């Protein structure tokens, strides 16, 4: 019975890695939809968020089930409880991808991103994709060096976020208030997405080392 | 020993109620700091967020400790795991209050909220305070009618959020891009704060009824 149990424990970890891939793909598509003003792609991201939510419920149910049936102690208990929290972060990341797609949809057929900011938004989208890919690898490998890299990657995202604000607040801003709002929200969604990804990686660090990093 | 155990379980629930009160107070002060451009009050909210985070860690440690020592089953297990998730929502609510206070600080000595929007922002602040107060009562009483009311209260918040956007996007908007960004972010912080509060109440509903409401 212990073998089945550990298989189930592993399968939850695998499902978390898949979910990281899923929300990463959602955010990459949302970025493309935003920059290309691609309505069909935006709609796809928005409707696919149901699949992210379904996976969330599935992982949650399996973790609860194992907790209730197996009465795990120490390390396994910590893995399961931590998994329940990681899956909540991943679900929020899916929401942020859907939020970006909704802004793309709202401005269609125009693009929500004024030409001078396309490069910064593209960089934020790429940073988000790289961060979540690394998060998936951290869940799978429990590689602490990679988890440490994520903190630096998040600094890059924060710097891009600052650049975005500077552009909007620059006297040369000519795209108007509506675009300023869109870009402000989009910036926030990318930044939150990255924060949740880093939070997942920090939970892995906690699992491995027992050292707690609080998310601020 | 079971009595001590149930005392500890109750004390976690009490701590969650206190934390709801704490983040509610933080958001009320943040609203006042924002509308009055009160720098000292804004600083107080920002530095008090450390106390919210400390309570978060304390509740988390106690719940983990009970999980590990008592091996709870069924109902008690669900209470503890749900508590771990509620405390994460409450911690995020504290972050949102601190975010509002940071906007107040950034614009000091000016107010970040243009005169025509003061009323709407005040209403959002009041709605947030009422929602979190009700959430605290729901945790304490497990009153499902009150939990259902929260869904409607959240609709009120969403409507205020929409009003805010309409005002910014109105042709009559004369406060400029910087104020538009501030108000956009502030609106988002109130809306997230309320969403997390509703999420906490939904977790209580799940505890009582076993029925799962997914947060979208």
Interface confidence, given as ipTM, is: 0.78
Helical axes B74-107 vs A39-70, angle rounded to 10°? 140
Q: Is A81 on the interface with B (CB under 8 A)?
A: yes
Q: Say whether pLDDT at A200 is over 50.
A: yes
> Per mean pLDDT, which range of A72-86, A125-139, B200-214 is the poorest?
B200-214
More confident residue, A36 or B210: A36
**d(C-alpha B2, C-alpha B23), whole Å:** 32
Q: Which domains does chain B have, with CATH numbers?
A: 2-209 (1.20.58.220)
The answer to whether B207 contacts chain A (CB < 8 Å) is no
Burial group, residue A123, by CB count within 10 angstroms (0-12, 13-18, 19+)? middle
- A 10 A CB-CB count for A127 gives 22
Q: How far is B161 from chain A (nearest CA, A)?
A: 13
Residue A215 confidence (pLDDT): 45
- Rounded to an integer, what distance in angstroms lies between the CA atom of residue B189 and that of residue A20? 25
Instruction: Tell me which chain A residues have a C-beta less than 8 angstroms from the C-beta of B78.
Output: 64
Q: Is A131 helix (H, G, I), strand (E, B) or coil?
A: helix
For residue B5, the model assigns a pLDDT of 85
Residues belonging to chain B: 216
SS (H, E, C) chain B: CHHHHHHHHHHHHHHHHHHHHHHHHHHHHHHHHHHHCCHHHHHHHHHHHHHHHHHHHHHHHHHHHHHHHHCCCHHHHHHHHHHHHHHHHHHHHHHHHHHHHHHHHHHCCCCCCCHHHHHHHHHHHHHHHHHHHHHHHHHHHCCHHHHHHHHHHHHHHHHHHHHHHHHHHCCCCCCHHHHHHHHHHHHHHHHHHHHHHHHHHHHHHHHHHCCCCCCC
Please tell me the distance from the alpha carbon of residue A207 to that of residue A158, in angstroms, as a whole number.
26
| Mean pLDDT, rounded, of chain A | 92
User: Is the Cβ pair A81, B88 closer than 8 Å?
Assistant: no
Residue A128 confidence class, pLDDT cut points 50, 70, 90: very high
Concatenate the DSSP letters of all residues of A6-42 into one string. Answer: HHHHHHHHHHHHHHHHHHHHHHHHHHHHHHHT-HHHH
The mean pLDDT of A48-65, rounded to a whole number, is 94
Residue among A173, A185, A216 whose CB faces B184 most closely = A185
Check residue B44 and give its pLDDT: 98
Q: Please answer yes or no on whether B178 and A185 come within 8 Å at the CB atom.
A: no
**Cα dihedral A74, B77, A20, A199 in deg (nearest 10):** -70
Q: Which two tokens stand for residue B9?
A: 């379980």
Q: Which residues of chain B have pLDDT under 50?
A: 215-216
User: Touching check for B57 and chain A: CB below 8 Å?
Assistant: yes
Cβ–Cβ gap B168/A177 under 8 Å: yes
- Report the alpha-carbon distance of residue A12 to residue A141 in Å, rounded: 14
Nearest to A170 by CA among B126, B177, B186: B177
Cα dihedral: B86, B91, B95, B98 (round 10): 120
Cβ contact (<8 Å) for A177 and B180? yes
CB proximity B64 to A under 8 Å: yes
Mean pLDDT of A64-83: 85
pLDDT the model gives residue B68: 81
pTM of the model: 0.87
CB of A201 within 8 A of CB of A93?
no
Q: What is the pLDDT of residue A15?
A: 97
Check residue B215 and give its pLDDT: 45
Cα distance between residue A192 and residue A132, in whole Å: 12
The sign of the CA dihedral B151, B153, B159, B160 is: negative
Around B23, how many Cα atoms within 13 Å sit in the side-chain half-sphere?
A: 34
CA distance B83 to chain A (A): 11
What pLDDT, on the 0 to 100 scale, is given for residue B216? 42
Is the model's pLDDT at A214 over the cut of 70? no
Q: How confident is the model at residue A117 (pLDDT cuts 50, 70, 90)?
A: very high
CA distance B167 to B183: 10
Distances (CA, A) of A172 to A116, A166, B2: 10, 11, 68
By C-alpha distance, the chain B residue nearest A168 is B177
Residues whose CB is less than 8 angstroms from the CB of residue B65 and which lie 6 or more positions away in sequence, other chains included = none
The residue whose two tokens read 């004024």 is A114
- Given a cut of 80, whether residue A153 has pLDDT beyond it is yes
């Amino acid at each position: 019975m212990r073998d089945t149990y550990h298989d189930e424990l592993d399968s939850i970890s695998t499902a978390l890695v898949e979910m990281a891939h899923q929300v990463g793909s959602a955010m990459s598509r949302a970025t493309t939809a935003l920059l290309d003003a691609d309505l069909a792609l935006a709609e796809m991201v928005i409707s696919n968020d149901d699949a992210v939510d379904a996976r969330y419920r599935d992982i949650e149910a399996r973790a609860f089930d194992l907790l209730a049936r197996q009465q795990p102690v120490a390390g396994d208990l910590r893995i399961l409880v931590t998994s329940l929290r990681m899956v909540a972060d991943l679900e929020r990341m899916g929401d942020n991808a859907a939020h970006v797609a909704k802004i793309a949809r709202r401005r269609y057929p125009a693009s929500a991103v004024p030409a001078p900011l396309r490069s910064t938004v593209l960089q934020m989208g790429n940073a988000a994709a790289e961060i979540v890919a690394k998060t998936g690898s951290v869940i799978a490998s429990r590689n602490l060096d990679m988890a440490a890299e994520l903190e630096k990657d998040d600094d890059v995202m924060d710097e891009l976020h600052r650049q975005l604000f500077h552009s909007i607040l620059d006297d040369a801003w000519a795209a108007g208030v509506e675009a300023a709002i869109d870009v402000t929200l989009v910036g926030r969604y990318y930044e939150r997405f990255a924060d949740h990804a880093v939070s997942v990686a920090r939970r892995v660090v906690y699992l491995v080392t027992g050292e707690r990093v609080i998310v601020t």
